[in-house]
Amino acid sequence: MTSSPCTKVCKIKEGICTGCHRTLEQIGAWGSMTDKERQEAMAKMGYTHPASAEVERLQAQVVELVAVAVSVRDDLLLRSEIDSDGTRCVNLSASKWSSFCDVIDDNESMEDDQ
């Protein structure tokens, strides 16, 4: 459920609360609004969910990791050879491995910072 943007600093100026930036109409209707209506009202006021920035950061990391993984996979496929016993042998380039490790290290250091 979407929580109220009320900051407990209620001062009405020109029909808008200076604390939460809602109109008197929105404040009065808040209790009977659906969660979707509340989210829409908050979006119009410029509020974002506190986790939004974290979600976007994590999504960007996933995109970067997938891109590196695809690159490593493609490199593995290009460099692989079938040995005489039928097993696949791979010689991974140092640059691809280094790129992959750098992304992993960056993610781990960001997690440590939090």
- Strand pairing category for 81-82 and 88-89: antiparallel
The Cβ of residue 95 has, within 10 Å, a number of other Cβ atoms equal to 10
**At a CB cut-off of 8 Å and minimum separation 6, what does 91 contact?**
79
What are φ and ψ of residue 63, in 5° steps? Answer: -60, -45
pLDDT (tens digit per residue) in 65-105: 888 888 877 777 666 666 667 666 665 555 655 665 666 66
pLDDT (tens digit per residue) in 45-62: 777 655 566 667 778 888
Question: Residue 111 pLDDT > 60, yes or no?
Answer: no
pTM score > 0.85 for this model?
A: no
Question: Cβ distance 40 to 24 under 8 Å?
Answer: no
**DSSP state letters, 43-97:** HHTT---TTHHHHHHHHHHHHHHHHHHHHHHHHHHHH-EE-TTS-EE----HHHH
pLDDT category of residue 4 using cuts at 50, 70 and 90: confident
Answer with the residue of higher pLDDT: 11 or 74: 11
**At a CB cut-off of 8 Å and minimum separation 6, what does 70 contact?**
none
Answer with the residue of higher pLDDT: 17 or 79: 17
For residue 92, the model assigns a pLDDT of: 57
pLDDT category of residue 32 using cuts at 50, 70 and 90: very high
